[in-house]
Amino acid sequence: MRRLFLLLCLWAIGLGTIAATFSYEKTTVKIYPDLEGNAHIVEKIEIKIEGEDSINAYDNNIAITNDITSWKSRTGIDEIRYHINANIAPISNLRIIPLPKKRLSIINPAYTGILQIEYDVSGLFNKTLVKARTYHYTIEKDALSFTTNNKGDIVLNENDYLYIIIPDESEIVSVDPLSQNIDVLDKNEKEFFWKGKTTLEDFRFIYLHKISLSDEVEQYFIFIRDQFNAFIFSKEGTYLGIMIVLIIATYMLLKSKVKNNE
């Protein structure tokens, strides 16, 4: 009986070694907003790798052209996805970087692997001028693609981690619910963190940036320049250019005739 038990254990170990097994561990989403209402996103999706086939598949696929659909198909893990709704905040500059695997321990033959997904998004924050030279940036919460409850509130699952890191030159205005890494909101806080089993009820996140007078003047002249360039290269600008050329040519022609008559 004991011998049969040992044989079954050895068979189970061998099967685990041969079978290709990937399992989901956790997702970390870090949002780095800028001063234009856009943001850089870094997502890290951690997976557990068990069995020789899975280990080899992970190593071999690192060199293959990477995309979300392919990795989801290779691993069978549905949690491999973007956590930003591209229909609300368009995605650009996408990169998927599978990081080298790490063994869990000397006695545990399994490994962990991380798929790092980096991209830029437009319009994740609504930029509003609230007073002279002062802008508020309010997160568009519907652009965050996490689980939601029947009220539409964001629900972070057990293995979800969300960070928002605002620019150094900005100040926080409002965070509701308060992030789990702080007890009292300080305007100088830059990093905010929520982890799994958390409901972000009526989620609200606002930071501000106050530009200097010199920056405001510079932005004004940049605006004037851009408007001028846009007009010059527009259909109306082309017509105006043609008219100016005709007026100058007519003037030069008339001036030449007057001079000849003299």
- Per-residue pLDDT reduced to its tens digit, 244-261: 777 777 767 666 666 666
Give the pLDDT of residue 7.
Answer: 40
Binned at pLDDT 50, 70 and 90, residue 170 comes out as very high
- pLDDT classification of 6: cutoffs 50, 70, 90: very low
Residue 235 covered by a domain: no
CA distance 123 to 140: 8
pLDDT at 12: 41
Structural domain contains residue 150 = yes
Report whether the peptide linkage leading into residue 177 is cis, meaning its omega lies within 30 degrees of zero. Answer: yes
Q: Tell me what the pLDDT averaged over the chain comes to.
A: 82
Q: Does 10 score more than 80 pLDDT?
A: no
- 17 found inside a domain: yes
- 152: left (phi > 0), else alpha (psi -120 to 50), else beta? left
Residue 116 included in any domain: yes
- pLDDT of 262 reads 60
Q: Is residue 81 part of a domain?
A: yes
Structural domain harbouring 202: 2-210
What does DSSP say about strands 171-176 and 111-121: parallel, antiparallel, or unpaired? unpaired
On whether residue 238 sits in a domain, the answer given is no
pTM, whole model, 2 decimals?
A: 0.74
144 vs 215, more confident? 144
What's the confidence (pLDDT) of residue 9? Answer: 42
Domain count, the chain: 1
The whole-number pLDDT of residue 192 equals 97
pLDDT of residue 200: 95
Is the residue at 206 inside a domain? yes
In a domain, 54, yes or no: yes
Q: What is the pLDDT of residue 201?
A: 93
Structural tokens at position 47: 């997976």
Higher pLDDT, 52 or 3: 52
Which pLDDT band holds residue 219 (cuts at 50, 70, 90)? Answer: low
17-32, pLDDT tens digit by residue? 334 588 999 999 999 9
Question: Tens digit of pLDDT for each residue in 100-138?
Answer: 888 888 888 888 999 999 999 999 999 999 988 899 999
Q: What is the dihedral sign for C-alpha 68, 70, 75, 78?
A: positive
Q: Which of 79-88, 132-141, 183-192, 225-234 has the lowest mean pLDDT?
A: 225-234
Residue 153 pLDDT = 94
Per-residue pLDDT at 213 exceeds 80: no
Q: What is the pLDDT of residue 119?
A: 97
Mapping DSSP onto H, E and C, the string for 175-216 reads EECCCCCCCCCCCCCCEEEEECCEEECCCEEEEEEECCHHHH
The whole-number pLDDT of residue 251 equals 67
Q: What is the average per-residue pLDDT within 129-154?
A: 93
pLDDT at residue 14 greater than cutoff 60: no
Phi, psi of 80 (to 5 degrees): -80, 100
